[in-house]
Amino acid sequence: MTMETHTTDYLIVGSGAVGMAFADTILTETDANIVIIDRHHKPGGHWNVAYPFVTLHQPSAFYGVSSRELSKGCKDEVGLNKGLNELATGAEVSAYFENVMREQFLPTGRVKYYPMCDYKGNGNFESILTGQKYHVEVNKKIVDCTYLKTTVPSTHKPNFTVADGVQFMPLNDLPKIQSPPAGYVIVGGGKTGIDAVLFLLENGANPDDITWIMPRDAWLLDRQNTQPTEEFFASSMGAQANQMEAIANSTSIKDMFSRLEASGVFLRIDENVWPTMFHGATISKMELAELRRVRNVVRKGRVTSILANKIVLEGGEIETTVKHIHVDCSASAISNLTIKPIFSEGVITPQTVRSYQPVFSAAFIAHVEASYPNDEIKNKICNVVPLPNTDLDWLRLTAAFLMNQHIWSQDPDLKKWLLNNRLDGFSKLVRAVKEDDMEKLMILKRMRDNGKPAMAKLQGYLAAIQQGQTA
């Protein structure tokens, strides 16, 4: 079998949300050609193997590619997200990316798409189905959209042993249960653990039949504060003002988190347990109330093994039986937290340049790639906002995000692009504020007045952390 060769401007490795958002902006703003390869049989990346009841955690208006709306422009009228902007289901997101590829990308004649292919490096890839080998000569950049190594429960191998005979499953399989077990054991305190618990409760499970193993409690974000529509201005922009004020007025890191919670920026499941984890998980207050119904929460560290009659954890043991269903929610969504320059010689490595928004970040990076002359300038504009794991990581990501916002605000062209990009969300809200709307103007004033003091305070705390002080 002879090697098939191609020439292209950009070789994008990965057709997940990040790769699709990057490609969309390149196609919109340049005349470049693109080759996209992916291991999956259709675009969407991890959405192809996500659990069947998954939804977006933030409004659909923030997600997808810049040129095509995902949101239907409505609010949820039932369920635990009632009253807030709708959250697209996994099936809707998957169909959306497939339509973007089929209806927008391929008809341009500038995109070649190779699903079910393994990338081998140096412009080489191979079909998983046929073994056909390909080589691509790249004129501009290889775009590595696999760097963050997104993992999902269905493909995750747990870091603990499970004895024969134990009922153990990823949360993907919860809808397949055929008969009531003795109880449910949810392993993992992150967003997938939250989703598993909510699925069970929404489907009538008794909360006393749920054991929730939570190695770390997490600070959570109130979804009401992420709504990009005018009616939620006081919540969304108000939360940002509250955040700046809480940081600026804080006297210690712990005091800062207490102020953030008191002002409604942060939530936590158990008000008696101080969280040490932060992954940016977003929930509604109705979801929070449901989670608090589960009283059997086990805080004994991570699971080391599940046996027929007990679960061994780092800090002790709990009883179980083979009649219990154990649900694996221990996968970390992002397994690579190491930062590297986004732009380097011949390679673009998309990472987040705005907190919690990987698709916006990808579109922004593509715009910078298309609009600025060299990698040095591009990297100065695209400082990486690190993905969080611990509570202290929130300080790092917030400081990096504020620095990027400041840099962008000094560039008229970037400000214009942000205003007109649908994935930005809030620029239009701010721009639309009328001169006589004193309530909204006061919120914006609080943001401005506390911005510099907040940044200075964060830098001081980060310096203290480096010196081993975390008060």
* Region of poorest pLDDT, from 56-65, 149-158, 159-168, 415-424: 149-158
Percent over 90 (pLDDT), the chain: 87
Residue 114 has pLDDT above 70, yes or no: yes
Q: What is the largest CA-CA distance in the chain?
A: 71
Residue 315 has pLDDT above 80, yes or no: yes
Among 249, 203, 202, CA closest to 80: 202
Per the CB < 8 A criterion, the answer to whether 88 and 94 are in contact is no
Average pLDDT of the residues in 281-304: 97
Edge-to-edge order in the sheet of strand 210-213: 167-170, 324-328, 183-187, 210-213, 296-298
Average pLDDT of the residues in 438-456: 95
Among 440, 438, 424, 434, CA closest to 21: 424
Q: What is the C-alpha separation between 140 and 32, in angstroms, rounded?
A: 9
H-run or E-run covering 317: strand 316-319
Residue 352 has pLDDT above 70, yes or no: yes
Residue 469 has pLDDT above 80, yes or no: no
Average pLDDT of the residues in 404-428: 92
Under the banding of pLDDT at 50, 70 and 90, the label for residue 471 is low
pTM summary value: 0.94
The structure tokens 């990987």 sit at 358
Average pLDDT of the residues in 85-110: 96
Percent over 70 (pLDDT), the chain: 97
Among 86, 91, 26, 92, CA closest to 62: 86
State both tokens at 111: 């995109």
pLDDT at 25: 98
Q: What is the C-alpha separation between 245 and 256, in angstroms, rounded?
A: 10
Average pLDDT of the residues in 99-105: 97
Q: What is the C-alpha separation between 193 and 432, in angstroms, rounded?
A: 39
pLDDT at 334: 59
pLDDT at 335: 58
Q: What is the C-alpha separation between 201 and 217, in angstroms, rounded?
A: 20
Over residues 185-212, the pLDDT tens digits come to 999 999 999 999 999 999 999 999 999 9
Q: What is the C-alpha separation between 416 and 427, in angstroms, rounded?
A: 9
Q: What is the C-alpha separation between 9 and 278, in angstroms, rounded?
A: 38
pLDDT at 210: 98
Question: Rounded mean pLDDT of the chain?
Answer: 94
Over residues 44-54, the pLDDT tens digits come to 998 998 899 99
Q: What is the C-alpha separation between 61 and 226, in angstroms, rounded?
A: 10
Q: Say which amino acid occupies 41.
A: H
Q: What is the C-alpha separation between 104 and 109, in angstroms, rounded?
A: 10
Tell me the domains of the chain and their CATH numbers: 4-149+335-389 (3.50.50.60), 151-219+280-333 (3.50.50.60)
Per the CB < 8 A criterion, the answer to whether 142 and 155 are in contact is no
Residue 139 has pLDDT above 60, yes or no: yes
Q: List alpha helices for 47-141, DSSP H.
A: 90-99
Q: Say which amino acid occupies 331.
A: A
pLDDT at 62: 86
Residue 336 has pLDDT above 60, yes or no: no
* Region of poorest pLDDT, from 177-181, 327-331, 344-348: 327-331
Residue 106 has pLDDT above 70, yes or no: yes
pLDDT at 470: 62
E-strand ranges in 180-302 read 183-187, 210-213, 220-222, 266-267, 282-283, 296-298
Average pLDDT of the residues in 28-34: 98
